[in-house]
Each structure stands twice: as C-alpha cells, then as structure tokens.
Copies of this chain bind each other. A is one copy, B any other.
Amino acid sequence: MTTYTLRPIGHVESTLTDRTAAPRQPDEGAPDAWLVFDDRYAPALEGLAPGTDILLLTWLDRADRDTLTVHPRGDATRPCTGVFTTRAPDRPNPIGLHTIHILSITDTRVHVRNLEALNATPILDIKPLLTPGG
C-alpha cells in the first residue's frame, strides 16, 4: 500500500521526559507546556487566540507501531481489546490527539495548559475543536 510522509511543523517543550511517568490523560497531572513551531509556519498560526481551546495533533514518536491489542489503561486484569477501541499510544499510526487551552502566544511559541505529551514530541497539526457531528 502507498505510504505517506509526515513533516513535523514543530515540537513540544515540556518538563515531561519519561513515558512511564507521563499521565495517561491531561486531567491526571499533565504540566503546562510550549508548542514551538518552525518559523516557516507562522502564517498558518494567524488567528489563533489565547484563551481558546484547540485540537493538537502530535506524532507519538516513542510508540510501538506493531501493537494491535492492549489491556485498557495498561491494567493486566482487564481483558485485551483492539487498540482502535482505546487511546493507547502504541498503534500502527501513533497520532496523538489533545484538546488543549491556549494560555499565551509569543511569535511562533504557544503556551498551553495541561499537555500530556512528552518533551520533543513532534507536532503535526492544529485544528479547531470538534463540534458535534463534525
């Protein structure tokens, strides 16, 4: 099958560096972090506003792409299920989806609240929040 090449547009700056210590969800203690975009993408950031929520798409570059089934939340007492029914990072195309709040923007650096992505995680895209049915 045809493959496609992702070109990251920036990266995450965070105090989170250890996958095993990272929170599984942002409401479980994720720190504030910076999204640092390559200068060439500055025009694409026009209109982003502090105080709003956005969808951040990342590439979970430390994920195992051969994993097809997992114990939900890593709990071995729960039965294995297909990765497509979970948010587990290990999956064939490990794209991370994060709903985050923009605190401030300085040029191509965006300060955000409670991001569970690890330091240096590549950034792929930003979109407006999903609306019902959208």
Contacts and interface: CB of A to CB of B under 8 A. Distances in A.
A99 B134 contact: yes
Interface of A: 1-9, 25-27, 38, 41, 43-48, 54-55, 57, 59, 61, 65, 68-69, 80-87, 91-93, 95, 97, 99, 114, 122, 124-128, 130, 132-134
B95 A48 contact: no
B44 A84 contact: yes
Contacts of A5: 3-6
Contacts of A48: 82, 84-85
Contacts of A126: 84
19 contacts: A1-B38, A4-B59, A5-B5, A7-B65, A7-B93, A25-B134, A26-B134, A44-B92, A46-B80, A46-B85, A47-B82, A47-B84, A48-B84, A54-B84, A84-B125, A87-B127, A93-B124, A99-B134, A114-B133
A97 B3 contact: no
Given A41-B68, A47-B82, 15 more contacts: A3-B5, A3-B8, A4-B5, A4-B8, A6-B6, A7-B65, A27-B134, A45-B82, A47-B84, A57-B95, A84-B127, A91-B125, A92-B125, A99-B130, A130-B130
